[in-house]
C-alpha cells in the first residue's frame, strides 16, 4: 500500500481467482475501496464475522466502518439488484449510505438490457458467449453507442429518458422476434431500486478520488472478472464488455496512470473458466473433475460448473504484461495437494506452430506441458513458508522464474489466516 496512490487488485485470468478471500487482508490497509468495471456479473464471496455475503456491485471495503467505498464511472449498475444487495448488508447491521458513493457517470442496467442479453445469446446459436444474463453487454453497448442512461439521469427527467430507451429496446427485441418476455414485476422492483438509490451520494466520484489522493490517502481499486475477459485484451468475442485490466482502473475511476502504485495480480495454482470460449488447458478427464470437486469450482453468480485445467503460463505471462503486474498472489494451492505430478502449460501449439505468446485467436491451440513433482502433503495447516514441502517450494520457484514476477502472497486454505505474505 502506498499513500496517495491507487493500488489495483486484479484477477488476471478468467475471473473467480478468489479475490473475496484476500480482500479481508487488503481492505484494512486502504482508506478507500473502489470498483472500476463490471457490475452484477461479479460475485465476490466474502465471509465476514462468520456470515457469508456475495457482493456483486458493492466494494468489499463495506465491512470496515472507517472506509469510503466507491462504485466508479466504469461500472454498470442494476438498481433492483443493487437494492437487494445493499438491503442484505443493512439487515446485517452495516450502515451504507454515508460510506458508499456512486459515480453519476456509471451506467444503468435496464430490465430490457437483461432481455436483450438473452435475445442476443439466443440469436448466436452455437457460438454463445455464455453470459451471466445480467445485461452487461447490452448496457456497455448502449454506453458506447451514446444512448445509455447514467446514474446522474436518475436526478433529472428520468421517466422520459427511461421510457425512450425502453421503447428502443422493445423495438430491437421485436425485430429479433424475441417477444416471449414479461418484465412487469421486474420493472416495479427496478423502479423501487431507482428510488432507493436516491438515498446514496450520487456524485462525481472522479473528483472525490483525486481529492483523496492529493490528501495522501490510499485507494484500492478492486477488480472484477479477469484479464482474459477484458473487452480489448481478452479472448474476444468470449469476453465480458468492460475493461477489466489495469488500464480500466484509470478510465473506470478517472485517475491518471501516474497515480497507480502496486498492481496485484491474483491467479489460482491451476486454471478455471466459466462460460464458453477457447481454453487450451481444459481437462475433460478425471483430473479436471478432481480439481473441480476439491476446488469447489462452481460459479458464484450462475452456479455453473467451472471448466478446470492446469496452470497456464502463456495466459499468465500475457496478463502480467498487459496489466504491468508488480506482485503476484497465488490462491488455492492446497487444491493440488493430492496429485502425483503437477503439469504446467508452457506453450501452445497448432498446425506445427508452437508459441509462448498469447495468440490473437486462442481457438484450436493445444497446450504444451512440463511436469513437476507433486507435494502430496496437505498444505492447509501451514502458516510459514519455511514449513512448505520442498516440491511446493520448487513449484513456487518455477513459477516465479517463468513469470519473472514475485509471488508475494500465497493462500493455502480457505481460512482467513491461511494467507502467507513473503
* Contact flag: residue 288 with ligand IMP (CB under 6 A): no
Q: Does position 225 bind ligand IMP by CB under 6 A?
A: yes
**Contact between 131 and ligand IMP per CB under 6 A:** yes
- At 347, phi and psi to the nearest 5? -160, 165
Quick one: 235 or 246, whose CB is closer to ligand IMP? 235
CB of 421 to ligand IMP, least distance (A): 26
Yes or no: say if 241 and 141 are a contact pair by the CB < 8 Å rule: yes
CB atoms within 10 A of CB 294: 17
Cell of 118: 438473452
Q: How far is CA 108 from the centre of its chain?
A: 19
- CA angle centred on 393, ends 417 and 333, rounded to 5°: 45
331 belongs to the binding site for ligand IMP (CB under 6 A): no
Q: Which member of 7, 16, 117, 337 is catalytic?
A: 16
Give the DSSP per-residue string, 57-83: SS-GGGGSTT-EEEE-TTBEE-HHHHH
Mark the segment that binds ligand IMP (CB under 6 A) among 46-54, 126-134, 365-373, 391-399.
126-134
The catalytically annotated residue of 44, 107, 113, 233 is 44
Question: Of 358, 374, 361, whose CA–CA distance to 270 is shortest?
Answer: 374
- 87: CB partners within 8 A, 6+ apart: none
Is 44 marked active-site?
yes
Residue with smallest beta-carbon separation from ligand IMP:
275
112 lines the binding site for ligand IMP (CB under 6 A): no
Q: Does 407 bind ligand IMP (CB under 6 A)?
A: no
Give the residue, chosen from 7, 16, 31, 337, that forms a contact with ligand IMP under the rule CB under 6 A. 16
Q: How far is CA 187 from the centre of its chain?
A: 27
For residue 222, how far is the Cα from the chain centroid? 8
Instruction: Identify which range of 158-166, 192-200, 222-230, 396-404 contacts ligand IMP by CB under 6 A.
Output: 222-230
Q: Which is nearer to ligand IMP, 103 or 131 (CB)?
A: 131
**Rounded to 5 degrees, what angle do the CA atoms 179, 185, 189 make?**
125
Q: Smallest distance from the beta carbon of 109 to ligand IMP, in angstroms? A: 11
CB of 40 to ligand IMP, least distance (A): 9
Convert residues 175-214 into a mask of x (bound to ligand IMP by CB under 6 A) and - (unbound).
Answer: ----------------------------------------
Q: Which of 109, 119, 129, 266 binds ligand IMP (CB under 6 A)?
A: 129
Is residue 274 at the binding interface for ligand IMP, with CB under 6 A as the rule? yes
Provide the grid cell at 131: 453470459
Task: Give the three cell numbers for residue 208.
Answer: 472525490
Alpha helices in 263-417 (DSSP H): 286-295, 313-323, 390-403
For residue 395 the three cell numbers come to 513449484
H or E element at residue 372: strand 366-373
Does position 41 interact with ligand IMP (CB under 6 A)? The reply is yes
Tell me which DSSP letter residue 388 carries: S
Q: Which stretch, 1-9, 184-192, 223-231, 326-334, contacts ligand IMP (CB under 6 A)?
A: 223-231
Catalytic residues: 16, 44
Interface contacts to ligand IMP, rule CB under 6 A: 14-16, 41-42, 129-132, 134, 136-137, 224-225, 229, 238, 240-241, 274-275
Amino acid at each position: 500500500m502506498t499513500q496517495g496512490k491507487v493500488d489495483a487488485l486484479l484477477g488476471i485470468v478468467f475471473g473467480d481467482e478468489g479475490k473475496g478471500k484476500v480482500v479481508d487482508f487488503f481492505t484494512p490497509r486502504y482508506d478507500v475501496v473502489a470498483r472500476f468495471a463490471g457490475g452484477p456479473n461479479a460475485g465476490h464471496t466474502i465471509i465476514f464475522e462468520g456470515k457469508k455475503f456475495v457482493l456483486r456491485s458493492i466494494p468489499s471495503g463495506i465491512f470496515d466502518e472507517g472506509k469510503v467505498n466507491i462504485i466508479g464511472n466504469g461500472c454498470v449498475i442494476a438498481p433492483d439488484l443493487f437494492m437487494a444487495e445493499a438491503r442484505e448488508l443493512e439487515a446485517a447491521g452495516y450502515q451504507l449510505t454515508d460510506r458508499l458513493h456512486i459515480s453519476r457517470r456509471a451506467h444503468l442496467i435496464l430490465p430490457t438490457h437483461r432481455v436483450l442479453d438473452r435475445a442476443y445469446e439466443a440469436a448466436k446459436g452455437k457460438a454463445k458467449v455464455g453470459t451471466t444474463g445480467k445485461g452487461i453487454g447490452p448496457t456497455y453497448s448502449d454506453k458506447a453507442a451514446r444512448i445509455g442512461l447514467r446514474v446522474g439521469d436518475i436526478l433529472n427527467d428520468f421517466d422520459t429518458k427511461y421510457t425512450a430507451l425502453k421503447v428502443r429496446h422493445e423495438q430491437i427485441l421485436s425485430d429479433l422476434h424475441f417477444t416471449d418476455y414479461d418484465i412487469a414485476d421486474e420493472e416495479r422492483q427496478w423502479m423501487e431500486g431507482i428510488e432507493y438509490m436516491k438515498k446514496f451520494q450520487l456524485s462525481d466520484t472522479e473528483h472525490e478520488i483525486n481529492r483523496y489522493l492529493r490528501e495522501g490517502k490510499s485507494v484500492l481499486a478492486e477488480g472484477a472478472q479477469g484479464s482474459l475477459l477484458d473487452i480489448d485484451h481478452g479472448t474476444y468475442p468470449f469476453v465480458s464488455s468492460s475493461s477489466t485490466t489495469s488500464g480500466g482502473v484509470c478510465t473506470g475511476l478517472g485517475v491518471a496512470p501516474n497515480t497507480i502504485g502496486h498492481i496485484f495480480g491474483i491467479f489460482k495454482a491451476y486454471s478455471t473458466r466459466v462460460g464458453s470460449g477457447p481454453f487450451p488447458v481444459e481437462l475433460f478427464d478425471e483430473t479436471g473433475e478432481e480439481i473441480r470437486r476439491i476446488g469447489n469450482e462452481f460459479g458464484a453468480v450462475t452456479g455453473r460448473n467451472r471448466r478446470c485445467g492446469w496452470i497456464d503460463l502463456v495466459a499468465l505471462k500475457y496478463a502480467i504484461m498487459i496489466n504491468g503486474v508488480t506482485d503476484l498472489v497465488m490462491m488455492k494451492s492446497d487444491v493440488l495437494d493430492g496429485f502425483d505430478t503437477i503439469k504446467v502449460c508452457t506453450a501452445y501449439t497448432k498446425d506445427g506452430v508452437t508459441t509462448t505468446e498469447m495468440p490473437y485467436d486462442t481457438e484450436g491451440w493445444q497446450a504444451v506441458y512440463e511436469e513437476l513433482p507433486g507435494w502430496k502433503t496437505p498444505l492447509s495447516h501451514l502458516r510459514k513458508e519455511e514449513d512448505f514441502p520442498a516440491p511446493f517450494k520448487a513449484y513456487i520457484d518455477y513459477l516465479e522464474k517463468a513469470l519473472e514476477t514475485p509471488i508475494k502472497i500465497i493462500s493455502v486454505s480457505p481460512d482467513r489466516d491461511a494467507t502467507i505474505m513473503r
